[in-house]
Amino acid sequence: MALFESYERRINQINAALNKYGIKDIDEAKAICDEKGIDPYKMCEDTQKICFENAKWAYVVGAAIAIKKGCKTAADAAEAIGEGLQAFCIPGSVADDRKVGLGHGNLAARLLREETECFAFLAGH
């Protein structure tokens, strides 16, 4: 069972995002990823050892959404993963208001698209 920071404040929004794609809950999202032989939870953990538990589950949710959407390109998958990240933003928070999760997915998609000729990254958190 997925447990993470501020579970009660996040879960309704997470389930709504999953339900939009016919996914019942986080456990089913994980099963969808497992079926495809991918482990976004571990990938996130391996990439950033100090990440919060909710970040790892957000990538599981995003990857399951990408699979359900039938994404065929890395850029399209990145946008779908952004939907998963956005679902973990606490409703009414600055991150939710500013659509930080969607922004991260869109930023990754831009980096992955062939038509992007030049890109500068500035951290502005």
pLDDT, averaged across the chain:
93
**What is the longest distance spanned by two Cα atoms in the chain?**
43
Alpha-carbon gap, residue 62 to 74, rounded angstroms = 13
pTM of model > 0.85: yes
Alpha-carbon gap, residue 61 to 16, rounded angstroms = 11
Question: Could you identify the residue written with the tokens 């497992």?
Answer: 34
Rg of the chain taking only CA atoms, in angstroms = 14
Q: Find the DSSP H helices in the chain.
A: 7-19, 26-35, 40-47, 53-69, 74-87, 94-97, 100-112
Q: What is the pLDDT of residue 116?
A: 82
The token duo for 4 is 């993470």
User: What pLDDT band is residue 124 in, cutting at 50, 70 and 90?
Assistant: low
